[in-house]
Structure 1
Amino acid sequence: MSTEPFAAVDVIRAKRDGARLTGAQIDWVVDAYTRGVVAEEQMAALAMAIFLRGLDAAETARWTGAMIDSGERLSLRVDRPTVDKHSTGGVGDKITLPLAPLVATCGAAVPQLSGRGLGHTGGTLDKLESIPGWRAALSADEIAAQLAGVGAVVCAATPTLAPADRKLYALRDVTATVESIPLIAGSIMSKKIAEGAGALVLDVKVGSGAFMKTLGQARELARSLVDIGAAHGVATTALLTGMDTPLGAAVGNAVEVAEAVDVLRGGGPADVVGLTVALAREMLALAGVSGADPAEVLASGAAYETWCRMIRAQGGDPDAPLPRPRHVHVVEAPETGTLARLDAYAVGVAAWRLGAGRARKEDAVQAAAGVRCLAKPGERVTRGEPLLELHTDTPEAVPAALAALRDAYAVGEDPGHDDALATRGEGIVLDVVRA
């Protein structure tokens, strides 16, 4: 005879029929799933019921708390304020790489537990692993020591952090429930709250290359994330940023690291610099740190020294050459004029097909694979000149990448110099959601 306080089928039926789940039901079902008492097919049914019926703000906050309580919380013993940033995923989104050392250089501590790429969106850990010797897996003690000594750490989540989310994330991926806003919010916030940072800034992407395609969807997700943070005592702000065009010129792994290093040395593309500075300012404000202007610190190159220390602390060599592709295929501009469109999703899929991403979590990635965008919307291009570079170690992958790019770009008549068109999307923040 079962001693469990609930039956999984009753919880599934309640949500299927549109009822609010009680706090006790939520606590039990998440814990029981983590323990293996609730079967995979039962949690799959509940995830679909949540996808169709939703969770209200109180249910979502409780669901997140139950996932946090499925594991341990990190204890960050540092003598300065802690603040983290999370992006919902985009194409060419290497912002974490310059942002973490920049905010640390300005006086806050940044504990960044990151993930790997899946599908058309890249993963921060995959990018950093293109640096020779760098390792993603750190113990809780190593994380705390690096945070105290360097001020920034970017690494994989420890196995004991929100284990319920790890199980549920894999299940959602194969049951068509990834897009559920309450489940997305709970997944993001359970890990971020469990890591122990005192404040959190969210970069919620919106556009063709993002999971949230419309501003309305992005606002809904941002509000859910911010409300969860408030419910758990973590100061949280969400910036909604555009993702119709790839960020920067580089999409992939080593190519994005190289671009991030350019930014840290005071250069780099204007859109990457702009968004890095905007997020840094918000992080420092939430952490209560003032005095340093992130734009000036970034332009000075001072954050590059912190980057080098951060990479060396995890076994990497910041001075070592990055991997280079065995094969480069050039896509030429089809006509002369102004590049009117460069679709982020299509470029992300092309990079994935070239080997920069994975279709399943178990797949390997190529460090040197990716796409370099040699022009951005609003810039003039000339027929026959390079528009895109496709990097790969497997030339047989190029036709599939070219197929993904077939309708990815459009060239129109040159309207003359237009500063507004040439700079659209450069670090642009579409909206801000606060507690």
Structure 2
Amino acid sequence: MEARALLSALRRGEAPTGDALAWAAEALADGRMSDAQAGAFAMGICRVALPESARTALTLAMRDSGEVLRWDLDGPVLDKHSTGGVGDCVSLVLAPALAACGAYVPMISGRGLGHTGGTLDKLEAIPGLRVDLDAQRLRETVARAGAAIVAASARVAPADRRLYAVRDVTGTVESLDLITASILSKKLAEGLDGLVLDVKLGSGAFMKTREDARALARALVTTATAAGCPATALVTDMSQPVAPALGNALEMAEVMRALTGQEAGALGALSAALGGELLAGAGLATDAAEGAARIAEAISSGAAAERFGRMVAHQGGPVAFVEEWPRFLPEAPVIREVAAGEAGHVAVIDGEALGLAVVDLGGGRKVEGDRVDPAVGLSDVVRLGQRVAKGQPLARVHAARESQAEAAVRAVRAAVTLAPEAPEPPPLVHERLAP
């Protein structure tokens, strides 16, 4: 096999064979495929919709281009993936809750992308905490704490690492086949016994329509299952932030409030719904409802917080973080309230605009390599349907400088629409998809 033959077949509209895709993954990983050829390969996959068997073959080939973890533990190895949204810090609540229920969670996560926040950036708001663990430290953390949340090493799905960088500069990020293979190649490399996909739908998500969200959810479930990993997907609401905060330290504060019994809200409810799917699929609950109840109990009882504290300590963070978390998280020097210009009910929240406002504050990256300020962001964001009086805060802006705060205040006002009547509240879970 050589790249020219593969690319010629794609140009003719022919779906590659499993052997051809396996060669492509190896060639991407070891450099036999040039950047120009990798870009042409990505564009070819965009133009030739892969049948399910070929999509599975590409996913497995990308997984097998690097290290695949193997486990010898006394419970199932489970994980969750979110397609990205705003105020979405569910992973930080769900992973320790699953650990408290007898599962093990070696969660490979990512950094902020576009207007959405990254789980790793949120964790790194905790002083000293490391996400770049080697394989031995990862195994020790998972065995002792029940969960670890880490960055993918260079040895995990290197074909995806190479292809992802090429997709970003060739306009091929939106390909359903490439998105599916990219997500699952890394997740399957974790050596999982079960996976739940949280596919976001709404203004703060990448998927804005129900049809697009359902198509991605279906592709992820069928491909993961065909690859030997039991999976389900929930299409969940992103017409407003999951937690009422955006920004790394501010979202960590919401996580700690949920884990320490102060206020869980939608963050706790969504964690329970996703975790219930995993526990039922792994035989740790009779059905998803019982599984959700077990996750909720782990959160409310403090068992999840104890596991989170263990994980933080094993990853280099403060031993006393759970007990004394407010003193460890950084605070921005400028805090401004965004006062409502009129009275009304919150009818629309433009989540993408809020996320971009946080990026402009310095809480996300505009280009790779940008330094992220963990302290900045938005807190106390209003909820859909909430009644606000004139002058009442729509949110609070946390900024490094006054000029940035003023720009963020304007952005929040433009992102929140008020109406005389309260809208029908959206469901937290729109749809469940299973094999």
Per the normalisation by structure 2, the TM-score is 0.93
Residues 1:70 and 2:65 aligned together: yes
State the alpha-carbon separation in 2 of the partners of residues 106 and 33 from structure 1.
39
Match of 2:364, as an amino acid? G
In structure 2, the partner of 1:143 is 138
Match of 2:429, as an amino acid? V
State the alpha-carbon separation in 1 of the partners of residues 235 and 304 from structure 2.
25
State percent identity of aligned pairs.
Answer: 45
Residues 1:243 and 2:238 aligned together: yes
Quick one: which of 312, 329, 339 aligns to 1:332?
339
In structure 1, the partner of 2:373 is 366
Match of 2:307, as an amino acid? T
Equivalent runs, 1:10-159 vs 2, <5 Å: 10-159=5-154
Equivalent runs, 1:200-349 vs 2, <5 Å: 200-290=195-285, 293-317=294-318, 318=321, 319=324, 320-349=327-356
Residues 1:392 and 2:399 aligned together: yes
Residues 1:185 and 2:180 aligned together: yes
Q: CA deviation at 1:403?
A: 5.4
Indicate the SS of the match to 1:225. helix
Match of 1:324, as an amino acid? E
Equivalent runs, 1:352-363 vs 2, <5 Å: 352-363=359-370
- Contact 2:335-2:405 within 8 A present in 1 as well: no
Match of 1:167, as an amino acid? R
Match of 1:382, as an amino acid? A
Indicate the SS of the match to 1:250. coil
In structure 2, the partner of 1:170 is 165
State the alpha-carbon separation in 2 of the partners of residues 75 and 364 from structure 1.
35
Equivalent runs, 1:413-428 vs 2, <5 Å: 413-414=420-421, 421=424, 424-425=426-427, 428=428
Q: CA RMSD in A?
A: 1.7
- Contact 1:118-1:360 within 8 A present in 2 as well: no
In structure 1, the partner of 2:417 is 410
- Contact 1:246-1:343 within 8 A present in 2 as well: no
- Contact 1:209-1:344 within 8 A present in 2 as well: yes
State the alpha-carbon separation in 2 of the partners of residues 372 and 22 from structure 1.
50
- Contact 2:15-2:49 within 8 A present in 1 as well: no
State the alpha-carbon separation in 1 of the partners of residues 243 and 387 from structure 2.
17
Q: CA deviation at 1:399?
A: 4.9
Q: CA deviation at 1:28?
A: 1.3
Q: CA deviation at 1:261?
A: 0.7
Q: CA deviation at 1:368?
A: 0.4
In structure 2, the partner of 1:376 is 383
Go from structure 1 to structure 2 and tell me whether the alpha carbon gap of 1:66 and 1:326 turns closer, same or farther (over 3 Å shift). Answer: same
Indicate the SS of the match to 1:49. helix
- Contact 1:78-1:147 within 8 A present in 2 as well: no
Residues 1:434 and 2:415 aligned together: no
Match of 1:429, as an amino acid? V
- Contact 1:104-1:306 within 8 A present in 2 as well: yes
- Contact 2:334-2:405 within 8 A present in 1 as well: no
Unaligned regions of 5+ residues in structure 1, if any? none
Deviates further, 65-74 or 399-408:
399-408
Q: CA deviation at 1:406?
A: 5.3
> Alignment length, in residue pairs?
423
Per the normalisation by structure 1, the TM-score is 0.93
Go from structure 1 to structure 2 and tell me whether the alpha carbon gap of 1:405 and 1:386 turns closer, same or farther (over 3 Å shift). Answer: closer
